[in-house]
Amino acid sequence: MLSLNAETDAVIGLFGRCYERRPNGFDAPTWQLVALPDPGAMSEQDAWTMEALGWVRDVRNRLEQDLMNAPKAAAAAGETVDDS
C-alpha cells in the first residue's frame, strides 16, 4: 500500500478509530463520528485534525453514495454492473 506521508497515515488511523459506518434505511450508509481523537470536549480537539477527519468522512460518504447509485446509473445507460 502506498504511504503518502505520516500525517495522512495518522488521519486514516484516527478515522478508523473515531468513525463507524452506519446503515441509513434505504439510502447509502454513512460514516458517523462516534469518538473523539483526544480526551476532552469537541472544543478541546485539534482544529486541523477535526477538519481532516471531516474531509475523509465527506469523501467516504460520497463513495458510499456513488457505490449505491452505480447499478442505477448503469441500468439507465443500458449497461450491467458486476458486483463480484
DSSP state of 82: -
Which residues form the domain of 31? 6-37+46-69
d(CA 81, CA 69): 11
Asked if residue 77 belongs to a domain, the reply is no
pLDDT tens figures, 7-43? 899 999 999 999 999 999 999 999 999 999 999 999 9
Cβ–Cβ < 8 Å for 74, 80: yes
Asked if residue 1 belongs to a domain, the reply is no
| Nearest to 10, CA basis, from 41, 39, 44, 53 | 53
Instruction: Identify the pLDDT of residue 74.
Output: 72
pTM more than 0.85: no
Q: Please, which residues have CB within 8 angstroms of residue 71's CB and are 6 or more apart in sequence? A: 81, 83
pLDDT tens figures, 38-62? 999 999 999 999 999 999 999 999 9
Asked if residue 64 belongs to a domain, the reply is yes
Asked if residue 31 belongs to a domain, the reply is yes
